[in-house]
Chains A and B, each alone.
Chain A
Amino acid sequence: GAVVSQHPSWVICKSGTSVKIECRSLDFQATTMFWYRQFPKQSLMLMATSNEGSKATYEQGVEKDKFLINHASLTLSTLTVTSAHPEDSSFYICSASPGQGAGTGELFFGEGSRLTVL
Chain B
Amino acid sequence: AQTVTQSQPEMSVQEAETVTLSCTYDTSESDYYLFWYKQPPSRQMILVIRQEAYKQQNATENRFSVNFQKAAKSFSLKISDSQLGDAAMYFCAHGGATNKLIFGTGTLLAVQP
Stretch of A12-20, A63-71, A75-83, A104-112 that contacts chain B: A104-112
Q: Does A26 contact B (CB under 8 A)?
A: no
Minimum distance in angstroms from B73 CB to a CB of chain A: 17
Q: In the complex, are the beta carbons of B44 and A112 less than 8 A apart? A: yes
Q: Which residues in window 85-105 of B have CB below 8 A to A?
A: 91, 95-105
Chain B residues with CB below 8 A from A101, complex form: 99
User: Chain B contact residues (Cβ within 8 angstroms of A): what range?
Assistant: 20 to 34
Q: Which of B25-58 contact A (CB under 8 A)?
A: 31, 33, 35, 42-45, 50, 52
Chain B residue at smallest Cβ distance from A111: B44
Identify the interface centre among B31, B45, B101, B106: most chain A CB within 10 Å of its CB: B45
- Complex Cα spacing A101 to B43, Å: 24
Bound-state CA distance A109–B53 (Å) is: 22
- In the complex, what residues of A have CB within 8 A of residue B97's CB? 102-103
Interface residues of A (CB under 8 A from B): 32, 34, 38, 42-46, 49, 91, 93, 95, 97, 101-107, 109, 111-112, 114
